[in-house]
Structure 1
Amino acid sequence: MKQIYLDNASTTRMRPEVLEAMLPYFTEQYGNPSSIYPLGQEASDAVAEARAALAGCIGAQPREVFFTSGGSESDNWAIKGFARANAAKGRHIITSAVEHHAVLHTCAALEKEGFEVTYLPVDGDGLVSVEDFKAAIRPDTILASIMFANNEIGTIQPIAELAAAAHEAGVVFHTDAVQAFGHEYINVGEMGIDMLSASAHKLYGPKGMGLLYVRKGVKLLNLIDGGQQERGRRATTENVSGIVGFAKAAQLAEAEREAVHGSQLALRDHAIERILREIPHAKLNGSWESRLANNVNFSFEFIEGEGMLLQLATRGICVSSGSACTSGSLDPSHVLLAIGLPHEIAHGSLRMTLGRDTTLEDVDFAIDSLKTTLANLRSMSPLYEDFQKTGEGSIIAEMKAQGVPYVS
C-alpha cells in the first residue's frame, strides 16, 4: 500500500543531502569543538560555518545565533531567560491564545513566579489584532511573544506591525517561527524581531536541533548552566552533526523557497477548493489569504476526528487533527476553540500539511479517501441521521447562513 505523508508540520523526512553532510561528524570528524587539537578544531570550524549560514538565512549576525535542542527549548529560554533577567524593569508579558504549548506553558510557569501574562484573543481567522496588542501594553510590560505562523491552522501573523508596536513602547519582541523558518521570508532586522525560535526537523533537517536568535543587546539569563559552550550561554557539548545538518537543510530550503512555496500554494488551494466544493458540512479553519503555503485545516461536522484519522491511516494517508505535541490529548484544540469553534466541531478537525515532494495525485487521492471516510463515519452517526430526517441541528449550516466564510 502506498503511503501518502501529509503531516509535514509535525515533522519532515530528512533530505539525503542533509544526511550526507552530517555523516562525517559521526565518524571521521567526531571531535569535541571545545578541544584545542586539530580534530576538535575541525568540529569547531564546522559549527562556526553552520552558525554563519543559519544567521544569513534570517539576516542576523552569527554571534546572535545560539544552538538549542529544538523549538521548545528555544521558546523556554527566550521567555524565561528574558523575563527573569529583566524582572526589575517589569513583570508583565503579552502573548496570544493560539500559541504553541511551548510558549503557553512557559508563560504559565512564569505566572507561578509572580509574572503577569495577557493572553490576547484572536479573530475567526486566528489573527491577532494590532490594536488589541497596543492596548494590552502596560508601563510594566517587558516582553511580547507572538508566533510567526500557527502550527495548526497555518495563519501568519502581522509580525512586522506587532514588533513595531512593541518597540514604540520599549517592549522586546520574540516570535516562535518554528513553522515559518525555511518556508516564509524572514529578515529579523527588517521585521523588528528581537528573538526568534526555529527547529531543524520542520525543514527536512534532524530532530533534536534548534536555534534561538537573540539580537545583540538583549539580556537574558541562561537556561542551562555548566560549561562554556555557546559563548557561556548554553552548557553542553555541541551536537556537531545536528548543527551541520540544520545549516544544510536551511540553505537548501532558502535556495528553493520561492519555487517550493509556489508549487505548494497551488496544491493547497486546489485541496481547499475541492473540499469546499465536494464535501458538505465542512469549514476551513484559519485565514485563506494570510496562510502558510502548505497548510490545509478543516473541521467536519457529524464525525469524530480520531475515527477519521484511523480510517485514513488504513488507506496509507498520514494526517493529523492538530499539533503533534498534543496528539494524546482528548481535549479539543485550544487553537480551534480560540477562533470560535464549538467543541463538537473542533473535535472533528483535520490538518493536512504538504511537503516538498507532495504531488497533485497525492492530494487528490487523499481527498477522494477523505470523502469516502466521511461518508462511512456519517452513516454511523445518529446526529447525522437526525439531521437528514429533520434538516435541523447543523452548526456549520447555521454558520453558512450567517455568512461565515469558507464553509460548505
Structure 2
Amino acid sequence: MKQTEPYKVALDIVRKLRNAGYQALWAGGCVRDLLLGKKPQDYDVATNALPDEVRNLFGKRQTLAVGASFGVIIVRGPHSDCDVEVATFRSEGPYLDGRRPEHVTFTTAEEDAHRRDFTINGMFYDPLTESVYDYVGGQSDLNQQIIRAIGNPLKRMQEDKLRLLRAIRFASTLQFRLDQVTFEAIQTMANEICVVSPERISGELRKMLLHPNRSYAIELVQSSELLKSIIPELAPLWEDSEKQPLWDQTLLRLKGLTLINFELSFATLLLDLPHEDSTHQLDIIHDICKRLRFSNHETSLIYWLIQHRNSLESAPSFKLSRLKRLLAHKNCPYLIELVKADLTSQKQPLDDLEFCCQYRDHTPTEVLNPPPLITGNDLIEFGIKSGPEFKELLTKIQDAQLDEIIHTKEEAFALLSRLHRD
C-alpha cells in the first residue's frame, strides 16, 4: 500500500516512542482498514507512555492535551489531516452518562483491547515489525465478515449507547453481518438510543446514508427497532400490513440512488411518510429535521425535494417558462434522481423524466436560464414603486422571455408598458 503522509507521521510517532523506551502500536480502525487492504482515514497510536510523558517527548508546542484525563494527547502533524491521537493503554470505570467513563486506569495493551467496542476495532498493529496483536478475536471476525461486540454486548452498548448505531454502520458499510447476540442486544436497548444527543445520532445516520449500501443500513436500523425510536413517524410503514409495500418501495428507492447526497437520501427515506395531507406531511418533515438538529440548508433541501416529488409529471405539456424554471433550479439534479428512484421502485414508466433530462441536456444555458431582459432597477427608472406589483411585473416579463415571446430589452419594455397600463 502506498505510504501517505499521515501514514509516515503515524509511523514516526511509533518509532520515536519506541526509541524512548515505550511500547507503541497502531490501534483501532486504522488496523481494521489496513487488514482489509483499505487506506485508513486516520491513524491512532496506543502506548504505555503516560500523557505527560507523551507531551514531554514530543514537546508542548507539538501536542494538544484534548483528553489528558482519559489518557489522550493529540500529536500535531505538518497538516491538520496528519494529526494523530496518542492514547495511553487504559481500562475504564463505569459510564454514568452513557457516553464517557467516570474514570480511567492506565494499564496494558490486552486490557485496553477489552474495553473497546467491536472485535474488528480492538486489534493493535506494530508498523515496525508488521505484527498484529489480537486479544479479542478481531482477525477471525474480520475474515468471517462479522460485527461482534467485545465481551458482553449489553455491557458494551450500555457504556456508550451510540454503539447501537455504530454496529449497524460498520455492518452496512463493510457489508458484514451482525453477530446474533450483538444484534439481540441492540434490539433490547433500542429505545435507549434517545439518550444520545441528536447531533451524534444524525452524524451516524449521515454516514450511513452517504454510503452506497444505504438501503441495507436502513433495513438494519429498522429491523433492530432503532429507526422506530429515532423517527417514530415512519413506524406505520412497516407495522401496518397495508402500508408495508410503501416501506418496501422506500428500501428500493434508497438502493436505486446513484448520486451521493445526504439530503437527497434523507428525502428518499421520508418520501412516503404517513400523513393526512401534503401540508401535514411537510410539517412533520420539518419537525423531524429540527429534532435531529439538521442545518437550515439541509432542512430546506429535504423539504423542497419532497414538496416537488410530483413536479415533473406531464412535463412535455408544460409552458416553456414553467419547464425552464424547474429544470434550471439548482436542486433539479437531485429532484431528477429522486423521481427516477421513486418511479423505478414502483415500476412506473420514465417517459416524463426522460423528456426532462433530454430537454435539459440539449438546451443551451443561455436559453434554459437566460439573464433577465429587465431588472428591478429598470422598473424603478420606469417610475414603478416597490410593492406587490413590482415582483408580479418582473415575473410576467421573465415568463414571456422564457416562453420565447420576447427576445430583446426593447420588447421587454414594450411589454412592461402594456402590463403597467393595464
* TM-score, normalised relative to structure 1: 0.25
More relative contact order, 1 or 2 (CA 8 Å, 6+ apart): 1
* TM-score, normalised relative to structure 2: 0.24
Which structure features the higher share of helix residues?
A: 2
